[in-house]
Amino acid sequence: MTHLLNADLHCHSVVSDGTLTPEALAERAKANGVQLWALTDHDEIGGQARALAAAQALGMRYLTGVEISVTFIGQTVHIVGLGFDASNAALLQGLRDTRGGRKQRAMEMSEGLAKVGIAAAFEGALPYVGNPELISRTHFARFLVDSGVCKDTNEVFRKYLTEGKPGYVPHRWATLKDAVTWITEAGGVAVVAHPARYKFTPNEEFALFTEFKGHGGQGVEVVTGSHSAAEYVTYAQTAKEFGLAASRGSDFHSPAESHTELGTLPLLSSTLTPVWELLSDRIQ
């Protein structure tokens, strides 16, 4: 009956583009009834020790977590890693390399925004950045909302930060193979994050899951804050077709911005294999 577990295996802290500390997230998860939690900052595991300590102090079970940015046939795909050894040298180096170039990209984003009359966006975004190695589009979005350019972060992404828009700078992230290999060789399970968010054709999506499995990937997010109820059904089917375990996570970033609260999504269907069943010996 482990599909009944209130697991939330996807969220972000100030170590990447969330607004809460790992400790505040742990408290929020616990208050919402989360029984198994993972902090999954973008391209960074610097918050893992704090998250684990906070979870243990609250009597909440914990899996190590990360969300790695990958470029796959020209699009950005996110791969969540769960239950890995956070001291694994190849994983740490791979994540360091993946973070590299974010500052340069941010300065180019700022130049693009300057051309449409938004001056000094790089300097404006900096006070929102909790980790100097992890400047993200989200930090620009918060600056543009607080400075009155847009009414919310969704509007910022739509008008300024997505492909073809003035503040968008194409970026090459890790390869799918590298991300999956770093996670699995560190003893973890790799999971395709929020698959419905990508703009792949059916053939491209098939290629994503086929190659992901070929590299050793074992899971897919089925119940996530990025999916509609219909998409839970679609990706439950995908999990079965590809023989993947299913994950569940809110992708919570901030009380002010996130429409999905930690630990409040529907539970996984009993017809799926929960990803935590593959990780029982990695739960802390």
Binding site for Mn ion (CB under 5 A): 17, 67, 78, 193, 251
Q: Which of 13, 40, 48, 69 binds ligand AMP (CB under 6 A)?
A: 69
Is residue 137 a contact point for ligand AMP (CB under 6 A)? Answer: yes
What whole-number distance in Å separates Cα of residue 13 and Cα of residue 23?
9
For residue 7, the cross-strand partners are: 36
Is residue 138 a contact point for ligand AMP (CB under 6 A)? Answer: yes
**Contact between 191 and 219 (Cβ < 8 Å):** yes
Q: Shortest distance, CB of residue 170 to ligand AMP, whole angstroms?
A: 11
Q: Which residue is nearest to Mn ion (CB)?
A: 78
Stretch that binds ligand AMP, among 136-144, 241-249, 261-269, 275-283 (CB under 6 A): 136-144
Is residue 131 a contact point for ligand AMP (CB under 6 A)? Answer: no
Stretch that binds ligand AMP, among 3-11, 134-142, 217-225, 276-284 (CB under 6 A): 134-142
80 token code pair: 């969540």
Is residue 136 a contact point for ligand AMP (CB under 6 A)? Answer: yes
Can you say whether the dihedral through the CA atoms of 131, 132, 136, 138 is positive or negative?
A: positive
Q: Shortest distance, CB of residue 69 to Mn ion, whole angstroms?
A: 8
Contacted entry of ligand AMP, Mn ion, none for residue 137, CB cut-off 5 to 8 Å set by kind:
ligand AMP
Stretch that binds ligand AMP, among 92-100, 133-141, 185-193, 268-276 (CB under 6 A): 133-141
Q: What is the radius of gyration, based on Cα positions, of the chain?
A: 18
Element spanning 240, H or E: helix 229-242
**Contact between 27 and 53 (Cβ < 8 Å):** no
CB burial of residue 59 (10 Å; 0-12, 13-18, 19+): exposed
For residue 8, the cross-strand partners are: 37
Contacted entry of Mn ion, ligand AMP, none for residue 128, CB cut-off 5 to 8 Å set by kind:
none
Is residue 253 a contact point for ligand AMP (CB under 6 A)? Answer: yes
38 token code pair: 């993972």
Q: Which of 10, 28, 30, 42 binds ligand AMP (CB under 6 A)?
A: 42
Question: Most distant CA pair in the chain: distance in Å?
Answer: 56
Using CB under 6 A as the binding rule, the residues of this chain from 184 to 223 that contact ligand AMP are: none
Q: Which of 56, 154, 237, 270 binds ligand AMP (CB under 6 A)?
A: 154
Please, which residues have CB within 8 angstroms of residue 236's CB and are 6 or more apart in sequence? 222, 246, 269, 271, 272
Q: Which of 40, 64, 98, 153 binds ligand AMP (CB under 6 A)?
A: 153
CA distances from 70 to 12, 65, 73, 145, 264 (A): 17, 16, 10, 27, 28
Q: Shortest distance, CB of residue 155 to ligand AMP, whole angstroms?
A: 9
What whole-number distance in Å separates Cα of residue 256 and Cα of residue 128?
14
Report the interface residues with ligand AMP, using CB under 6 A.
17, 42, 69, 136-138, 153-154, 157, 253
